[in-house]
Amino acid sequence: MSERLYEKWFLGDSNQSLEQYYDFMNQAAETLETYFATGKSSFSGNTPSQVRAQLMTNFIDMGPEKGQNTETLFKHIGESILQNAVHVHHPACVAHLQCPPLIPAMAAEVLIAGMNQSLDSWDQSGAATIVEQEVVSWLCDLYQLPNGDGVFTTGGTQSNYMGLLLAREHISERLWNWNPRQKGMHPESHRLRILCSEEAHFTVQQSAAFLGLGEQSVVSISTDENYRLSITELEQKLDGLFQKDMLPFALFATAGTTDFGSIDPLPQMAELAHEYGLWFHVDAAYGGAVQLSEMYKGKIDGIQEADSITIDFHKQFYQPISSGVFLLKDQKNFQHLKLNADYLNPEEDEAEGIPNLVGKSVQTTRRFDALKLFLSLQSLGVNRLGSMVDTTIDLARQVAQLLVEDPYIQIEHEPELNAIVFRFSHAQVDDKGIDEINMKIHDELLRTGKAVIARTKVNGKAYLKLTLLNPNTTIDDIETLLQELKCIAFNLLEQQEGLLV
Ligand SMILES: Cc1ncc(COP(=O)(O)O)c(C=O)c1O
């Protein structure tokens, strides 16, 4: 009888396979527990060269000729990789739109990797296709899109790209009966314009560039004091563009801007989009999760009017990276992406009603990420997820109050979601000095591992940012962080007398 030489390395029912499987799985779970479970700082504080040196000490050769002993391997992975990772579960890890993942979703990742289904065709996925379709259908109900449809994506970048891609196809067909996929760009397409606020994510410009429209096609609209798109300026710019013989075709709203979490005035924008015949896309990569909250879902009212929507699950749906969805109000618009490949989804299969999702995506091989959200929803229930969102928004309000009352803090806006932009300030330090202190606060918190917070610029000045996605972060955690932050600032003032004017 012929022998299976590699049984031990793949999942099967032999003893050696199962032994190996549990050995790796248990060691992975234990390593994660050791370095990520409790009480550790939010970052090791090691510099890039220190991290590289530690990695190289443990892994002298990146492609060893022979494999290593598993126990040693996991010990070294723990010491040099997990030890130097950003600890997203830590309550003081509050920098970016990067969440602690839910335990059920982590377990789903194990299933996803083990099953290794690909969502492009039925014969690579079976039940996975049906699960994704059902989760998408639930999402269409959640966002009130009765004729909607959607597809899982790698995140906001891909979903925003898809929104603008379909907008381009849609307008080209309507204006010129032209299909850019087949014929390339229409000679008049240099007149096409996309409108968004100046706080919109950079993927608007990036998508415009990828779509052959050029960054020049993006018209930025200024924002109000809370960083929401100004409707007055939008109207003026639209009129101006038509007068200059330009062709505005897409209105891009943001429900939760990356820095401030501001939500553009969706109902008024939807109305204008309708009036001017524009494709209305809502980037709710960040703010989409408020729809889970009974208390706060009104904040994104108007999203149901969007032609297309971006939602990220790896932000406030607490899913491991990567996971997002692209939703369409009218499922017919997926026709612009439709394709049939003989080896994947021949037309005969479609005629027989065999589902395939490749014709809705810009990816071919695609992960079964829907299982993560499915398992999370089934184990927590929507209400618990919604109350996590509530907790973080309530915390942000409390923190904002603390900051407003602090004489050494200047808060830049009233938080809409759970991002807060602020800076340390001092009457006797000029703007340049304040910039320097705030940058150093960020660096020092990271170096000591006391907290991971973000920095950004507002009108050219240095600011700090807390993104309070973690529902386990408490007001006490933030009070400690703020004390630490001011302590760093006052130490700097003491050490560098030149900062005081
Ligand atoms: C508002 C917004 N849109 C889009 C994106 C891009 O999403 P992703 O990083 O998931 O591709 C981000 C990223 O943070 C974002 O904040």
205 or 340: which carries more pLDDT confidence? 205
Q: Residue 61 in contact with residue 36, Cβ under 8 Å?
A: no
DSSP state of 298: G
Q: How far is the CA of 349 from the centre of ligand 1 (A)?
A: 36
Beta strand ranges found along 198-274 (DSSP E): 218-221, 247-254
Q: How far is the CA of 205 from the centre of ligand 1 (A)?
A: 13
Could you tell me how far CA 302 lies from the centroid of its own chain? 21
pLDDT at 39: 64
pLDDT tier, 437 (very low <50, low <70, confident <90, very high otherwise): very high
pLDDT tier, 350 (very low <50, low <70, confident <90, very high otherwise): confident
Sheet with strand 454-458: strands edge to edge: 409-411, 419-424, 461-467, 454-458
- Taking the CB of residue 90, how many other CB atoms lie within 10 A of it? 23
Q: Residue 228 in contact with residue 264, Cβ under 8 Å?
A: yes
Check whether 500 has a pLDDT greater than 80: no
Is the shortest distance between the CB of 201 and ligand 1 below 6 Å?
A: yes
Check whether 101 has a pLDDT greater than 90: yes
pLDDT at 88: 96
Is the shortest distance between the CB of 157 and ligand 1 below 6 Å?
A: yes
Is the shortest distance between the CB of 223 and ligand 1 below 6 Å?
A: no
pLDDT digits (tens, 9 = 90+) for 146-197: 999 999 999 999 999 999 999 999 999 999 999 999 999 999 999 999 999 9
Calculate the CA dihedral of residues 386, 389, 390, 392 and round it to 10 degrees.
160
Phi, psi of 271 (to 5 degrees): -65, -45
Among the atoms of ligand 1, which is closest to the Cα of residue 158? Answer: 11
pLDDT at 246: 98
**Substitution site in 157, 262, 310 for ligand 1 pocket (most atoms within 8 Å of beta carbon):** 157
Delimit the domains of the chain by residue range.
7-84, 118-380, 383-499
Is the shortest distance between the CB of 162 and ligand 1 below 6 Å?
A: no
pLDDT digits (tens, 9 = 90+) for 278-311: 999 999 999 999 999 999 999 999 999 999 999 9
Q: Which of 270-279, 353-362, 364-373 has the lowest mean pLDDT?
A: 353-362
pLDDT at 273: 98
Q: Taking residues 340-358, what's their average pLDDT?
A: 83
Q: How far is the CA of 136 from the centre of ligand 1 (A)?
A: 20
Nearest CA owner, ligand 1 atom 4: 156
Q: What is the architecture of the domain spanning 118-380?
A: 3-Layer(aba) Sandwich (3.40)
pLDDT digits (tens, 9 = 90+) for 201-234: 999 999 999 999 999 999 999 999 999 999 999 9
pLDDT at 478: 98
Closest to 289 (Cα-Cα) out of 148, 137, 393, 420: 393
214: left (phi over 0), alpha (psi -120 to 50) or beta: left
pLDDT digits (tens, 9 = 90+) for 30-56: 999 999 986 679 999 999 999 999 999
CATH fold for the domain made of 383-499: Aspartate Aminotransferase, domain 1 (3.90.1150)
Among the atoms of ligand 1, which is closest to the Cα of residue 97? Answer: 14
Calculate the CA dihedral of residues 336, 337, 338, 342 and round it to 10 degrees.
150
Q: How far is the CA of 204 from the centre of ligand 1 (A)?
A: 10
pLDDT tier, 339 (very low <50, low <70, confident <90, very high otherwise): confident
pLDDT at 343: 78
Q: Residue 438 in contact with residue 464, Cβ under 8 Å?
A: yes
Q: For residues 89 and 38, what is the distance between their CA atoms, to the nearest angstrom?
A: 9
Is the shortest distance between the CB of 312 and ligand 1 below 6 Å?
A: yes
Check whether 74 has a pLDDT greater than 80: yes
* Fold agreement (118-380, 383-499): no
pLDDT at 498: 78
